[in-house]
Amino acid sequence: MGEEQATESVGRNGVGSLGVAAELAGEAALARIQKPEPVEGRGPVVRQRDDGKHVPGEPGVWIFILGDMSIFAVLFGVYIVGRGDAPALFESQQQLLNQNFGALNTILLLVSSLLVYSGVNAIRKQDLRAPLLFIAAIVCGLGFVVVKYFEYSQKIDHGLTPALNDFWMYYFVLTGLHLFHLLLGLGVLTLITLNARRAKPGSTRFALIEGGACFWHMVDFLWIILFPLLYLVGE
Partner 1 sequence: MLNTKAQMRMAWMGPAAIFVFMIALWPLAGFLPPISPNDSAEEIVNIYRDNTDGIRVGMFLATVAAAMMGPFYATITTQMKRIEGRFSVYAYTQLGLGMLAILLVVIPSYIMQGIAYRPDRDIDPEVIRLINDVAWLPFVGAFVTVSLQNIMIALAIFQDTEQRVFPRWLGYFNIWTALAFCPAAIEFFFTTGPFAWNGIFVFWLALSFFGVWFFVMFFSLKKAIAEQAIEEAALEADAAAAVAAKG
Q: Which residues bind partner 1 (CB under 8 A)?
A: 1, 4, 34-35, 37, 39-45, 58-64, 67-68, 71, 74-75, 78, 82, 162-163, 166, 169, 173, 176-177, 180, 184, 204
SS (H, E, C) 69-102: HHHHHHHHHHHHHHHHHCHHHHHHHHCCCCHHHH
Looking at beta carbons only, is 75 or 145 nearer to partner 1?
A: 75
Residue number with CB closer to partner 1 (91 or 166): 166
The smaller minimum CB distance to partner 1, of residues 58 and 91, is found at 58
What's the closest the beta carbon of residue 186 comes to partner 1, in angstroms? 15
Minimum distance of partner 1 from residue 70's CB (angstroms): 9
Give the C-alpha distances (Å, rounded to integers) separating 67 from 20, 110, 115: 40, 22, 25
Length of the chain: 235
CB of 158 to partner 1, least distance (A): 19
CA distance 119 to 115: 6
Residues with Cβ within 8 Å of residue 204, at least 6 apart in sequence = 4, 44, 45, 46
d(C-alpha 88, C-alpha 93), whole Å: 9
CB of 160 to partner 1, least distance (A): 15
60 or 121, CB closer to partner 1? 60
Q: Which is nearer to partner 1, 35 or 158 (CB)?
A: 35
CB of 2 to partner 1, least distance (A): 9
User: CA-based angle 89:80:176, to the nearest 5?
Assistant: 85
